[in-house]
Structure 1
C-alpha cells in the first residue's frame, strides 16, 4: 500500500523538517499489521515527495485476531488504503500530526501546496471522495480502477486512484487523511470501542464539526462501534473541547486547539443575555439545542423556549436536553415548539430576549424582511441577539476555497459593513438601537470570525 505527499513549497525540502524524517535516509518502522517504509523519491529545492509504503502481513492479522470482517488469509488489506495506513501514519508521522516541529517551529503554521496520491482506495461510490475532501478545500480526482484493463466489459472495481491537491497546513492535511481514508474504505481492522470517539474528535478538531457530511463521516469511521455514533455526533454538534486522553496508535500528545467557534459564539451570546438582565429567552432557530442546554443549566434564565422549523432537529434537541429525566421544576423552565420565522407567530411575543444565532444567513435575502417583521414587529422582545459569519475573515480559513461559504446551506455571508448597515436599518424601522460586538480572535484588517449585533428596544413614548 503506497501513499505519497508532494509539495512545491520553496524550499520544498522543508517537508523533511515538518515530518521529522530526513530526506537522505530510508527508514523502516514496525507498525500494526506489518512494516512501514518511509523514503523520499525526490527531495530538492523545487519539489519534495515523501512516500509511505506499508507492507501488510494478512496472515499475521488473522492470527492476531485483527482482521475484523476480513478474517481470511486472502484480502485487499495489503493493497488498499484504509485503517491500516491511518495507523501507520499515526505511528511514523506522529509529531507532524500533532503540529510540532521542534527544529523549525515557524513551519508548523505555514500553508503549503500539497499533492497527495493514493493509488488504491476502496470506496462504495466513486463520488464519495469529493463529498468528503471537497468541503475541506481539496481538489479531488478519483479515477475508478478497472477490474481488468484488458477486459473493459467487466467494468470498474470498488477502488479508485485518488489524487488530492490543496494548500493547507501539513498537520491539518494529515489529520484529515487520518480520519477520511478509513471512512472511504468503511472497514476497521481492529475492534472499535469508546476510545474511538475521542480519537475521532481529536483528529477532527477544527474541521469535522462544520463538515457538511459529519454524520456520514462519524458513522463510517466508527463502523462496528455504531452504538457510539449518537454520543459522537452530540459532541461534534456541541463542538466541545476534546478530552486530552492519548489516542490509540496516534496523536498521543496534546494538540493545541483553540476554543471552537461554536463555543465562542455561545459564550458571547450568554454574556449578552446576562448583561441585558434577560430572564425569559426564546432561541429562534434552535437547531439541535446547543444554546438551549447552556440556558437551562443557568438558573438565571427562568423560562427558555426553543423554536425551529425542523421537527427532526427538535426531537434531537429534546433527547440531548434529557427532558424526560428533568425534575418537574426544571422541566417547567424549558420547552420546544415547531414554528417558522417566515410566519407571524404571536405565541413568541412577550419574551425578554430572542436569539438568532447563525440563523439569518440560512434565509434567502429577499425573505429577510418577512423575518424582520415577525421578530422585531410581532414577537418584539426587549433584546434581540443576532450572530452571523463575517465573510471577510474567510480569507484566514486555510481549508476554505476562495469565494466559498462556510456551510453549504448558507444563502449569503456578509461583510462587517453590510451587516452593520442591515442591523442599523432594522433598528430604525422597528424602534431598536443596535450595538455591534466581535466574537473570536480579531484580525487587524479582517475583523473577527463571527459578528454579533445586540438590538435593544427603545422606550416607546
Structure 2
C-alpha cells in the first residue's frame, strides 16, 4: 500500500521538516505487521513529494491471527497486504507521529500554517461506494479525484472492483490531513485489524477534534471506526456532541470512586496534594497552571494559599471544568480572589499559547491517562512549547499495586489508565525528558514507603 503527500508550498522541501524525515535518503521502520519505507520521488524547492510504502508481512499476519473470519482460507486469500487500511493508519501514527501531533523542532510556525497539499492513496477499499467516499472527504474541503479499478482488464464485463485510487487536494495544515486520513481510511475499509476497546473512543475524539463533531457523516464514521460496537459508538457520539447523557459521566464517577476506595486508608490524595504544594512553595512559584485539573482538588488548595498570585486549571472535559467551578465556588468569590483563578478547556497533547508564562506546571495523576503514543506530544506541549521553570509530575507506582487487597492481580487502579509505570520506568522517562529539554529532575515518593515495592505514588520535580 502506498501513500504520497505532495506540496508546492515554497520552499517545498520544508515538507521534510514537517514530516521529520530527510528528503535526501530512504528510511525504513519496523512495524508490528511488517516494514514501512519513507522516500521522496521528487524534492525541489518548487515541488516536493514524500511517499510512505508499507510492506505488510502476510505470513506474520497468519501466525498472529487468533482465528479466521469468513471462509476457511480467508487468512491466506485476502487483500490485507495490498490495500490502504487500518495498517496505514497505525503506520502514519508511528512513522509520522511528529507531524500527526503538530510538532516540528525546526519549522514550528509552519505546523500551524495551512499549505497546499495533495495526498494520493493507492489502493483504497471503498466499502460504501464512490458516493460515500465523497461524503467523507468533500465536507472537509477536499477536491477529490477517484480512479476506479476493474476486476480484470481482460474481462471488462465483470465490472469495477471495490477498490480505487483517490487523490485529495486542499490547503490545510499537514497535521489536519494526517488526522483525517488516520480516521477515514479505516472507516472506508471498515475492517480494522486490531481489537477495539474504550481507548479507541479517546483516539477518535482526539484525532477528530475540530472537525468530526460538525461532520454530516459523524455517526457512520464513529460506527465504522469503532467496529460497529454500539456501546462505544454511543459513548463517542455523546462525548462528541457534548451531550448531557448521564451514562458516561456516571461510569467515570464510578471509576474514580473505585480508585479512591483503594487508596482511602492511605489518604493518598491529601498526601499528593501536600507534596505538590510543598514543592511549589520550595521553588518560589507564584504563577501556576494545573494541566488535567479534573474537578479542581489541587486548585482549591492553591486558591487557599495567597502565595500563588495566578492560578489556571486546564482540562479537556467541559463537565470536569463545571465541577471544578462548583468546587471552587467561583461565582461566590470576591472580585479580587476571582481574578486569581481561571478555568480553561484544552488538550494536553496540543500546543496551546495559553500555557506560556507560568512559573510552574503541575500534572497530578495525569500522564497515565494519556496513550503512550501521545506522550511525546504531551512532552512537547509542556516542556518545550510552554517551558516553565518548574514542572511537577505525579503518577502511580505499579509495583505497589500488590499491596492493595481489593485490587485483582494484574489490574490497574483506574479503568481509564493506559499504563502504570514501575519506579524504573518512570525515572527512565523523566530522565529522558529532562535531558532533551534542559531540565534537572528529582524524584520523591508519596505515601508510605514499602521496603520491597516502594511508595504508592511517585513524583518527579523538574527544574531549570
- TM-score bracket, normalised by the shorter chain, equals 0.5 to 0.7
Determine if the alignment matches structure 1 residue 131 to structure 2 residue 255.
Answer: no
* Deviation for aligned residue 1:246: 3.3
Structure 2 counterpart of 1:58: 58
Number of equivalences: 257
Residue in structure 2 matching 1:151, options 155, 160, 163: 155
Secondary structure of the 1:178 match is helix
Structure 1 counterpart of 2:221: 217
Structure 1 counterpart of 2:119: 116
Deviation per residue, 1:334-393 (Å, 9 max, x gap): xxxxxxxxxxxxxxxxxxxxxxxxxxxxxxxxxxxxxxxxxxxxxxxxxxxxxxxxxxxx
CA contact (8 A) 1:100 1:108 kept: yes
Residue in structure 1 matching 2:89, options 86, 90, 101: 86
CA contact (8 A) 2:138 2:144 kept: yes
Structure 1 counterpart of 2:386: none
Determine if the alignment matches structure 1 residue 39 to structure 2 residue 163.
Answer: no
Structure 1 counterpart of 2:336: none
* Deviation for aligned residue 1:34: 0.8
Deviation per residue, 1:146-186 (Å, 9 max, x gap): 10122210000111111100001000110010100000100
Deviation per residue, 1:294-323 (Å, 9 max, x gap): xxxxxxxxxxxxxxxxxxxxxxxxxxxxxx
Evaluate the alpha carbon distance shift between residue 114 and residue 255 of structure 1 in structure 2; reply closer, same or farther with a 3 A threshold: farther
Give the alignment of 1:42-441 within 5 angstroms. 42-65=42-65, 69=69, 72-124=75-127, 125-238=129-242, 241=317, 245-247=369-371, 253-254=377-378
Structure 2 counterpart of 1:11: 11
Q: Within 1, Cα distance between the matches of 2:44 and 2:144?
A: 26
Secondary structure of the 1:232 match is helix
* Deviation for aligned residue 1:67: 8.0
Secondary structure of the 1:238 match is coil
* Deviation for aligned residue 1:251: 7.7
Q: Within 1, Cα distance between the matches of 2:9 and 2:66?
A: 39
Evaluate the alpha carbon distance shift between residue 251 and residue 189 of structure 1 in structure 2; reply closer, same or farther with a 3 A threshold: farther
CA contact (8 A) 2:103 2:380 kept: no
CA contact (8 A) 2:103 2:377 kept: no
Deviation per residue, 1:74-112 (Å, 9 max, x gap): 211111101000000000000100000111211111111
Q: Within 2, Cα distance between the matches of 1:212 and 1:43?
A: 37
* Deviation for aligned residue 1:69: 4.1
Q: Within 1, Cα distance between the matches of 2:375 and 2:134?
A: 26
Deviation per residue, 1:252-301 (Å, 9 max, x gap): 624999xxxxxxxxxxxxxxxxxxxxxxxxxxxxxxxxxxxxxxxxxxxx
Q: Within 1, Cα distance between the matches of 2:200 and 2:67?
A: 17
Deviation per residue, 1:210-259 (Å, 9 max, x gap): 111110100010115343100000000018646864347668624999xx
User: Normalised by the size of structure 1, how large is the TM-score?
Assistant: 0.53
Secondary structure of the 2:80 match is coil
Secondary structure of the 1:77 match is coil
- Indicate the RMSD between aligned Cα atoms, in angstroms: 2.2
Structure 2 counterpart of 1:335: none
* Deviation for aligned residue 1:138: 0.5
CA contact (8 A) 1:82 1:181 kept: yes
User: Normalised by the size of structure 2, how large is the TM-score?
Assistant: 0.53
Q: Within 1, Cα distance between the matches of 2:66 and 2:371?
A: 18
Evaluate the alpha carbon distance shift between residue 69 and residue 142 of structure 1 in structure 2; reply closer, same or farther with a 3 A threshold: farther
